A and B are shown apart, each in its own frame.
Chain A
Amino acid sequence: MDFINHQLFIKDINVHIDPILPKKTAIITHGHADHARFGHDHVIATRQTIDIMKIRYGDKCAKKFTPLRYGQKYSIKNYDFTLYPAGHILGSAQVLIEKNNHRLVITGDYKVGKDEACKNFKLVKCDTLITEATFGLPIFQHPDPKDEIQKLIRSVKINKNNCHIVGAYSLGKAQRIMNLLRQQKYNETIYIHGSLEKLCQYYSKEKINIGKFEKVSLKDKSFYEGKIIIAPPSALKDRWSRRFPNPIICMASGWMTVKQRAKQQGIELPLVISDHSDWNELVDTIKKSKAKNILITHGQEDALVYYCKKQNLVSKPLSIQGRGDEEIE
Chain B
Amino acid sequence: MKKFSSLLHNLILTPSRNTKIKLLQDYFKILDINRAYALAILSDQLSFQFIKASKLRELVYEQVDQHLFDYSYDYVGDLAETISLIWPTNKEGKSQNLSTLIENIKKIKKSEINTEFSKVLSELSNNERWTLIKICTGGLRIGVSERLVKTALADLYNKSVNEIEEIWHGLEFPYKNLFQWLKNKTSKPKIDFKKLFHPMMLANPIDEEKDFKRLDANEFQAEYKWDGIRIQLMVSSNSVSLYSRTGDNISSTFPEIIETTKGEAVIDGELLVGGNFKPSGFNDLQQRLNRKKASKDLQKMFPVFIRAYDILFYKEKDLRKLSLVERRKYLEKFQKENTTNQIDLSTIINFSTWEELTTYKNNFYDDLNEGVMIKLKNSEYLPGRKKGYWYKWKKNPKLVDAILMYAQRGHGKRSSYYSDFTFGVWKENELVPIGKAYSGYTDKELLVLDKFIRNNTTNKFGPVREVKKEIILEVAFDDVFPSTRHKSGVAMRFPRIHRIRWDKPINEVLSIKEFKKEFKID
Question: A residues within 8 Å of B by Cβ?
Answer: 137-141, 257-264, 266-270, 300, 302-303, 306-307, 310, 324-326
Contact = CB atoms under 8 A, between A and B. Distances in A.
A303 B416 CA distance: 16
Contacts of A268: 13-15
Interface stretch (B34-42, B77-85, B265-273): B77-85
Given A258-B81, A260-B81, 4 more contacts: A139-B72, A260-B77, A260-B413, A264-B416
A163 to B, nearest CB: 16
Nearest to B455: A324
Interface of B: 9, 12-15, 64-65, 67-69, 71-72, 75-78, 81-82, 85-86, 89, 130, 143, 412-413, 415-416, 454
Given A257-B85, A260-B81, A267-B13, A138 B413 contact: no
A307 B81 contact: no
A139 B75 CA distance: 10
A263 B82 contact: no
Given A137-B72, A138-B68, A306-B71, A263 B85 contact: no
Contact of A259 (B68, B130, B416, B454): B130
Contacts, number: 69
A141 B71 contact: no
Contacts of A307: 68
Nearest to A303: B71
Given A263-B12, A263-B413, A264-B413, A306 B67 contact: yes
A325 B72 contact: no
B505 to A, nearest CB: 29
Contacts of B89: 141
Nearest to B14: A268
Given A259-B9, A259-B13, A326 B68 contact: no
What are the 5 tightest A-B residue pairs by CB atom distance, in nearest-first order? A139-B85, A303-B71, A139-B72, A260-B415, A137-B72
B13 to A, nearest CB: 5
Contacts of B13: 259, 262-263, 267-270
A266 B15 CA distance: 7
A217 B465 CA distance: 48
Contacts of B416: 260-261, 264, 326
Contacts of B72: 137-139, 303
B68 A306 contact: yes
A137 B15 CA distance: 28
Nearest to A307: B68
Contact of A300 (B67, B71, B86, B143): B71
B76 A258 contact: yes
Contacts of B14: 268
B448 to A, nearest CB: 15
Contact of A324 (B82, B143, B413, B454): B454
Contacts of A306: 67-68, 71
A297 B77 CA distance: 23
Nearest to B463: A302
A203 to B, nearest CB: 30
B352 to A, nearest CB: 49
A257 B9 CA distance: 12
A324 B451 CA distance: 10
26 contacts: A137-B72, A138-B68, A138-B86, A139-B72, A139-B85, A141-B89, A258-B76, A258-B81, A258-B415, A259-B78, A259-B81, A260-B77, A260-B412, A260-B413, A260-B415, A261-B415, A263-B13, A263-B413, A264-B413, A264-B415, A268-B15, A302-B71, A303-B68, A303-B72, A324-B454, A325-B454
Contacts of B415: 258, 260-261, 264
Contact of B82 (A139, A266, A269, A310): A139
Contacts of A326: 416
Nearest to B67: A306
A134 to B, nearest CB: 12
A326 B451 CA distance: 12
Contacts of A303: 67-68, 71-72
Contacts of B12: 259, 263
A167 to B, nearest CB: 14
Contacts of A258: 76, 81, 85, 415
A260 B68 contact: no
Nearest to A272: B126
Contacts of A270: 13
B75 A300 contact: yes
Nearest to B411: A260
A260 B82 CA distance: 11
A145 B475 CA distance: 47
Contacts of B77: 260
Contacts of A262: 13
A141 B75 CA distance: 15
A138 B15 CA distance: 29
B316 to A, nearest CB: 49
